[in-house]
Homo-oligomer: A and B are copies of this chain.
Amino acid sequence: MPPVEGQKIAGHRITALGGGVGASRLLLGLYEVSDPAALTIIVNTGDDIELHGLRISPDLDIVTYTLAGIVDPAKGWGIRGETFHALKRLAGYGRANWFNLGDRDLATHIHRTALLAEGKTLADAAELIRSALGVKARILPMSNDPVPTIIESNEGPLHFQEYLVKRRSEPVVKGIRFKGVEAAHPAPGVLEAIRDASRVLICPSNPLISIGPILAVPGVREQLRVRKTHVFAVCPIVGGKSLKGPSDKMLTQLGHDATALGVAKLYADFTGTFVIDPADQALSAAVSTLGMKVAVLPTVMKTRAQKDTLARALLNL
């Protein structure tokens, strides 16, 4: 990685909540402009799925690979320069191949599955994987308990990955549930990281199926409410469109406004400052009436510079 331009911003203890690709852009910026050892990331695991007997945690891996500098930059997930020889052979054996599993990536899933079989927790596995890959930030799964996101659709219930990847977000979403979440516990350190952070950042991830599952883990939303003035949420909808993925469509199908204001309503009870893009400045007043401060910052991050700039701006608010 190229050296970071400018000084690191010191003195913060940041806890960020996020999902996969959308979050990882901002997380890379935060990792670059602040002290990574003072950064804790709480990651959605509602997307987790078991395929071919392997435990796959897509969002944990996206965040970890991104901060390790090995992510495929074009896709935003998977490993750079990846090959897919094993997947092709699995397909030859008649196994499902709609979920892309690269050869190097498979090693992560094999390792995680083996660790879990040996009695380690998902958090233990995440910690071992991120440290083996040289990631200095702490990466926590939202919970060690499986909480699969189920999309209730016009085609019946679908695991989120079936909805997103296999069915390309085409089914109409009628409801979302996080199976077993009532009995799930936050992973060790999750509530403490929210409690002890100088800033809590809600990454620009899908509010329904990336941030939503984290909020649904008992105790998380309550802990965020306690820290409301320190919570900064970056809106993932700009000009009525998702920065990434099907957020806009899902919001609309579930009766929410697919706008920054629609997202603001979902976050108002626990967010102190809601960050919107200049494109949505006209919504500032309406967001304010929900009881949040509004900050207007460029939230579209295509380049490394844009990621770092947003990260710096968030820490300087």
Residues of A that sit less than 8 Å from B by CB:
52-54, 82-83, 85-90, 92-95, 102-104, 106-108, 110-111, 113-114, 117, 128-129, 132-133
Contacts and interface: CB of A to CB of B under 8 A. Distances in A.
Given A52-B111, A111-B52, A111-B95, A104 B86 contact: yes
Given A93-B108, A95-B111, A103-B106, 18 more contacts: A52-B110, A52-B111, A53-B110, A53-B114, A54-B110, A83-B83, A86-B86, A86-B106, A87-B107, A89-B104, A89-B107, A89-B108, A90-B107, A90-B110, A93-B111, A93-B129, A95-B114, A103-B103
Contact of A103 (B86, B92, B93, B108): B86
B86 A128 contact: no
B111 A85 contact: no
Given A54-B110, A93-B111, A113-B53, A104 B128 contact: no
A54 B107 CA distance: 12
A198 to B, nearest CB: 33
Contacts of A110: 52-54, 86, 90, 106, 110
Given A93-B128, A93-B132, A85 B104 contact: yes
Copies per complex of this chain? 2
5 contacts: A53-B117, A83-B85, A89-B104, A92-B133, A93-B107
